[in-house]
Structure 1
Amino acid sequence: MKTNSTTKPIWKRNLFVLSIAVFIAGIAFSEVMPFLPLYIGTLGNFSHQELNFWSGFIYSGTFFVSAIISPWWGKLADKKGRKLMILHASFGMAFVIGAMSLVTNVWQLFFLRMLQGVFAGFVSNANTLIATETPKHHAGQALGTMSSSVTAGTLLGPMLGGFLASVFSYRVTFFITGGLLLISFLLSLFFVHEDDFKPVTEKKLDKASGVIKSLRSPRLIFGLLLTTLIIQAANNSINPIVSLYVKQLMHNQGSVTFISGIIAALPGIATFLVASRLGLLGDKIGTHKIIIAGFLGATVLFLLTAFVQNAWQLGILRFSVGFTDACLFPQVQTLLSKNSPAEVTGRIFSWNQSAMYTGNIIGPLLGSTVSGFSSYSMVFIVTAGLVVINLLLFRINVIKNLK
């Protein structure tokens, strides 16, 4: 393992720099989420059902494009380098998100959200770089650190976004978000090094079939991809309706935007506190055990959330969900890293990113559809059902195929 002048391994230096970069990116990605439905409401006169539809539709736009294009970027990353993909993603999104401050109607916002999807993948490509350079026995802790960093940013982002939107405006907040992503770009450009990168040159790995043949257990890998998809669908079925649910619970009284930002941030607090520790624990006792615990906890918490009577009850349960979040997505990434050959890790992580974005598409549309035809409470009940299905599929496709 190469080291710098102070004998610190390069993978540790990259981990340090990228954990800061994804922290900043986490702020940028999350600070607009609490008020996105409210911003949409300023772009036209919409009924309750129309606002729910547009919130889910626009929220999903980025992920629709990303789900399609991510495998191509993953293939390019394995050939040209993961740092190049990190730079591409951060600079492109800095420009696009900044431009969202200038839209005058919902179709322009939808177009920019779609364009954002072309440049998506900063965090996932940063994770890929760390996964390929980190020794396997440190993978859980390293990826847990990355998850803690991005969720710490996700924690701060909604509160900062709610504050900025209240003090300035929605449009100014979009402009600031673009600036934050530009900072992540500069950090990655000047301080991240990929000296040990070995480009994939084997022709057989150019096609998905060749990648699949290189896997020890394809069913395990595709089982994990399906797990990611359903995790994201479950989590994101909630996101488009959180601020609207808070508005309903508060009877449209008080600072709905600010309270929505706090509640949206609460899961990130819990995830930040435990993700790295859970990664280390998973390295010792088995990552799959951590994931199963996360499924069980999430099921109970989502069911309880359907019956809250006020905003503080919602806040407590959303905070608790953060602990289960730390048991799920970062641990799935760890299993992917431990069970994928290094030469195709970029491709596998890009497939995982596509699965994640597909879940991000399905989730908001599911949440907005259920809330539009039933109620916000029913969204949480349906989400709990998704988690149970995910647990059953995980046991069938992953547990039985682990070493």
Structure 2
Amino acid sequence: MLQKFKEFFLRPRKLWEKNLIILWIGTFMAGIAFSLVMPFLSLYIDTLGNFSKAQLNFYSGLTYSATFLVMAIVSPFWGKLADRKGRKVMILRASFGMAIVIAAMGLVTNVNQLILLRLLQGIFSGYVSNSNALIATETPKEHSGKALGILITGNVTGTLFGPLVGGVIAAVFGYRLTFFLTGIILFLVFLLSALFVKEKFQPLEKDELQSGRAIFRSLKSPRIVIGMLLTTLLIQLGNFSISPIISLYVRQLMHNTGPITIASGLVASLPGVATLLAAPRLGALGDRIGTARILKLGMLFAAAVFLPMALVTNIWQFGSLRFLVGISDGALLPAVQTLLAKNTPAEATGRIFSYNQSFQALGNVAGPLLGSSVSGMWNYDAVFISTSIVLVIGFFWVLFTTKKQT
């Protein structure tokens, strides 16, 4: 047993394996950083003014969406620059910029300042997506599903621990300290990436780059690539539609009594446990039986899990269903990224993944706005029903775009 342990951890590693280990640690730390504050951002907003329920829902949706609106606009520019200068440069830009901006959120005195900083955060986004692009380009195609499945567990594992730690910090010290801690963690991510990530990259001159239209014309399976971009939008629209109301829904289920921030953090972290267990296995299974099949099953399972959330009567039922959501999370985005990696030439990966980030950001914008609008017009239960409908639509879209694809 000891010999096998030594062989696994001490054997010589290829460059892509070394990068995978470092970027797993980096995305793990980034996951912790982001999830320290996100599960109870709505509660933080509630401390910045006297808002009605409708106003709080609106500002929560707007604050969540602000970052992703900017991200959708700037991601193609960063993707083009990544194809010219390399993905590591983009990783460093994202981690350093967000360290400064998120730390500053702990100093705001009103919701408008918070929204402004969330807009600015969108300019410096892209650490996880560029990590995915770097691994996708430097990993042999036959290992890409497994590698990307492993990489996503770094982010979700961090997301698992972040809400628990953040919930305790918020309950004991208040919300503002969590923003300062997030800035410190992201600065450590910057240092780790700068020192240890190595990229074999041949810089391209500006006139050597193909136009976006030429890239899509050169793809062997443009329907798959375009289909996966829209699939990403639908996945994120469904997942993020409930983001602005999770902590508010938890507060309602707990009848506004008890350790609400800690419970919100726990509920937010539960999907990470399942994703941590499921993603590497589903990625490896997809390499064997077909990634498209894994994606279809994940869509159906997600739709089936979100629907009964509208019927829960206590925090334990809600938490159990949130755990099951993590299994679908382990299938959906890793499968999309694997299909993109397998159907995109290496010289265009940066831009295709940046386009994917733009569609992801559009889903992140539309989701919170959908959730806050539905909850404002009806109630929180209706948000889960609408989310399930979106995911059913996503299943049929995947079924159409991946015909004859495994």
TM-score, normalised by the number of residues in structure 2: 0.96
CA distances 1:290-324 after superposition (whole Å, capped 9, x unpaired): 11111111111111111001110000000011001
> 1:81, 1:199 within 8 Å by CA — same for their partners in 2?
yes
Name the CA distance, whole Å, in 2 between partners of 1:70 and 1:401. Answer: 31
Tell me, yes or no, if structure 1 residue 313 matches structure 2 residue 317.
yes
User: What is aligned with 1:292?
Assistant: 296
Q: Please, which of 7, 15, 18 is the counterpart of residue 10 of structure 1? A: 15
Query: What's the CA shift for 1:363?
Result: 0.2
Tell me, yes or no, if structure 1 residue 168 matches structure 2 residue 173.
yes
2:331 match: secondary structure: helix
1:330 match: secondary structure: helix
> 1:75, 1:206 within 8 Å by CA — same for their partners in 2?
no
Tell me, yes or no, if structure 1 residue 376 matches structure 2 residue 376.
no
User: What is aligned with 1:225?
Assistant: 229
RMSD (CA atoms): 1.3
Q: Please, which of 213, 236, 244 is the counterpart of residue 209 of structure 1? A: 213
> 1:204, 1:210 within 8 Å by CA — same for their partners in 2?
no
User: What is aligned with 2:98?
Assistant: 93
Query: What's the CA shift for 1:81?
Result: 0.6
User: What is aligned with 1:159?
Assistant: 164
The count of aligned residue pairs is 397
> 1:70, 1:350 within 8 Å by CA — same for their partners in 2?
yes
Name the CA distance, whole Å, in 2 between partners of 1:239 and 1:155. Answer: 15
Q: Please, which of 43, 53, 56 is the counterpart of residue 51 of structure 1? A: 56
Tell me, yes or no, if structure 1 residue 402 matches structure 2 residue 377.
no
Name the CA distance, whole Å, in 1 between partners of 2:334 and 2:207. Answer: 31
Query: Which runs of 5 or more residues in structure 1 are unaligned?
Result: none
> 2:84, 2:206 within 8 Å by CA — same for their partners in 1?
no
User: What is aligned with 1:105?
Assistant: 110
Query: What's the CA shift for 1:203?
Result: 3.8
TM-score, normalised by the number of residues in structure 1: 0.97
The letter for the 1-side match of 2:138 is: E
The letter for the 2-side match of 1:148 is: T
> Within 5 Å, which residues of 2 pair with 1:6-155?
7-155=12-160
Name the CA distance, whole Å, in 1 between partners of 2:265 and 2:323. Answer: 13
Q: Please, which of 382, 393, 396 is the counterpart of residue 392 of structure 1? A: 396
Name the CA distance, whole Å, in 2 between partners of 1:214 and 1:133. Answer: 21
Tell me, yes or no, if structure 1 residue 303 matches structure 2 residue 274.
no
Identity %: 57
Name the CA distance, whole Å, in 1 between partners of 2:67 and 2:404. Answer: 33
CA distances 1:349-380 after superposition (whole Å, capped 9, x unpaired): 00000010000000000000000110111100
Q: Please, which of 242, 245, 251 is the counterpart of residue 246 of structure 2? A: 242
User: What is aligned with 1:186?
Assistant: 191
> 1:132, 1:345 within 8 Å by CA — same for their partners in 2?
yes
User: What is aligned with 2:281?
Assistant: 277
> 1:267, 1:321 within 8 Å by CA — same for their partners in 2?
yes
> 2:299, 2:391 within 8 Å by CA — same for their partners in 1?
yes
Q: 1:265 to 1:6 in 2, by over 3 A?
A: closer
User: What is aligned with 2:268?
Assistant: 264
Query: What's the CA shift for 1:382?
Result: 0.4
The letter for the 2-side match of 1:316 is: S
> 2:32, 2:158 within 8 Å by CA — same for their partners in 1?
yes
Tell me, yes or no, if structure 1 residue 336 matches structure 2 residue 333.
no
Query: What's the CA shift for 1:402?
Result: 2.8
Name the CA distance, whole Å, in 2 between partners of 1:348 and 1:62. Answer: 20
Query: Which runs of 5 or more residues in structure 2 are unaligned?
Result: 1-9
> 1:205, 1:211 within 8 Å by CA — same for their partners in 2?
no
Query: What's the CA shift for 1:262?
Result: 0.2
Tell me, yes or no, if structure 1 residue 362 matches structure 2 residue 375.
no
The letter for the 2-side match of 1:53 is: F
Name the CA distance, whole Å, in 2 between partners of 1:54 and 1:401. Answer: 44
Query: What's the CA shift for 1:214?
Result: 2.0
Name the CA distance, whole Å, in 1 between partners of 2:286 and 2:404. Answer: 17
Query: What's the CA shift for 1:211?
Result: 1.2
CA distances 1:189-211 after superposition (whole Å, capped 9, x unpaired): 000011x2123448474421111
Query: What's the CA shift for 1:76?
Result: 0.3
Name the CA distance, whole Å, in 2 between partners of 1:160 and 1:270. Answer: 19
Higher deviation after alignment, 213-222 or 239-248: 213-222
> 2:71, 2:361 within 8 Å by CA — same for their partners in 1?
yes
Name the CA distance, whole Å, in 1 between partners of 2:203 and 2:215. Answer: 15
